[in-house]
């Protein structure tokens, strides 16, 4: 057990090596260093997930043994921003010619729009379990439970919410299907929209960060600034995602 909890340290050690070796031996390879750190951070999440739930995606499985979209997108944004900050700080500290009188190694600005985008993602991460907990206290129709179990063999329910028996049963389909017994196994438009917009925005911003490193030779003072329309699209996406999640999708038993 002790050894298994030491495994998460392996990607962190690899990240430290990349951040030391990259600036010294790849002074013009900042983009590749950034991608390397990003991949290793993804590996860190995988190792942590394996230590917790015996699955590489275990870090993103919720207390219902379902894969959580809000957890996954929060983890993805965290990895991209941390990889950018770490790479910028490493090159600022180790690349010859850095003017420390005007820029310290860790003085890398995170644009306000990016902080707002991460805050929106964090809001969904916190609000999602709160909204779902309200539905766990409601009693669904017995017929809805039977139908849900037929669509998802081996599943059960906690109030109106579908649950799986173990983390081993968590599926990638959880990212785009309903949470309730009333829409179990059916496409969830709120989740689908959220997943597609997150892939688009996160992919674009990762590309922006990579291009910044490729075309910057001097000290790096800030991560790329994102347009406000980017943040508006993300905010609307998360708002509709939470609103759709809060809406009832299962009939409840009438009070006796």
Phi/psi of residue 158, nearest 5 degrees: -120, 95
**DSSP symbol at 172:** G
Q: Where is pLDDT greater, at 101 or 244?
A: 244
Q: Per the structure block, which two tokens stand in for 89?
A: 């700080």
Q: How confident is the model at residue 80 (pLDDT cuts 50, 70, 90)?
A: very high
In this prediction, residue 2 carries a pLDDT of 45
- Note whether 140 and 160 are within 8 A (CB): yes
In this prediction, residue 1 carries a pLDDT of 44
In this prediction, residues 103-107 reach a mean pLDDT of: 63
In this prediction, residue 106 carries a pLDDT of 66
In this prediction, residue 78 carries a pLDDT of 94
pLDDT tens-digit series, residues 35-62:
999 999 999 999 999 988 999 999 999 9
**Average pLDDT of the chain?**
87
pLDDT tens-digit series, residues 109-144:
889 999 999 999 999 999 999 989 889 888 888 888
Percentage of the chain beyond pLDDT 70 is 92
In this prediction, residue 144 carries a pLDDT of 86
Q: How confident is the model at residue 172 (pLDDT cuts 50, 70, 90)?
A: very high
- Residue tagged 């690899």 (tokens): 14
In this prediction, residue 210 carries a pLDDT of 96
For the entire predicted model, the pTM comes to 0.89
Q: Where is pLDDT greater, at 203 or 99?
A: 203
- A 10 A CB-CB count for 193 gives 16
Cα torsion angle, 173, 177, 178, 183, sign: negative
pLDDT tens-digit series, residues 181-218:
989 889 998 899 999 999 999 999 999 999 999 998 87
Q: How confident is the model at residue 27 (pLDDT cuts 50, 70, 90)?
A: confident
pLDDT tens-digit series, residues 150-168:
888 888 989 999 999 999 9
- Note whether 41 and 47 are within 8 A (CB): no
Q: How confident is the model at residue 104 (pLDDT cuts 50, 70, 90)?
A: low
């Amino acid at each position: 057990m002790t050894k298994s909890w030491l495994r998460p340290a392996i990607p962190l050690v690899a990240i430290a090596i990349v951040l030391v070796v990259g600036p010294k031996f790849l002074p013009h390879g900042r983009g590749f260093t950034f991608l390397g750190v990003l991949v290793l951070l993804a590996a860190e999440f995988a190792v942590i997930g394996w230590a917790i739930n015996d699955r590489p995606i275990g870090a993103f499985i919720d207390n219902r043994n379902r894969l959580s979209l809000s957890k996954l997108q929060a983890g993805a944004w965290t990895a991209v921003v941390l990889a950018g900050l770490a790479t910028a700080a490493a090159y600022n500290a180790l690349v010859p010619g850095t003017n420390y009188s005007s820029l310290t190694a860790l003085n890398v600005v995170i644009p306000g729009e990016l902080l707002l985008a991460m805050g929106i993602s964090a809001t969904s991460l916190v609000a999602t379990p709160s909204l779902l907990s309200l539905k766990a206290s409601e009693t669904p129709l017995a017929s809805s439970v039977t139908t849900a179990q037929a669509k998802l063999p081996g599943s059960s329910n906690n109030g109106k919410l579908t649950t799986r028996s173990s983390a081993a049963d968590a599926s990638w389909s959880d990212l785009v299907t309903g949470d309730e017994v009333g829409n179990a196994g059916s496409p969830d438009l709120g989740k689908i929209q959220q997943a597609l917009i997150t892939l688009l925005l996160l992919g674009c911003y990762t590309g922006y960060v990579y291009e910044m490193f490729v075309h910057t030779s001097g000290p790096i003072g800030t991560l790329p600034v994102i347009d406000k329309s980017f943040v508006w699209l993300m905010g609307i996406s998360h708002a509709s995602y939470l609103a759709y999640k809060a809406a009832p999708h299962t009939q409840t038993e009438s009070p006796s």
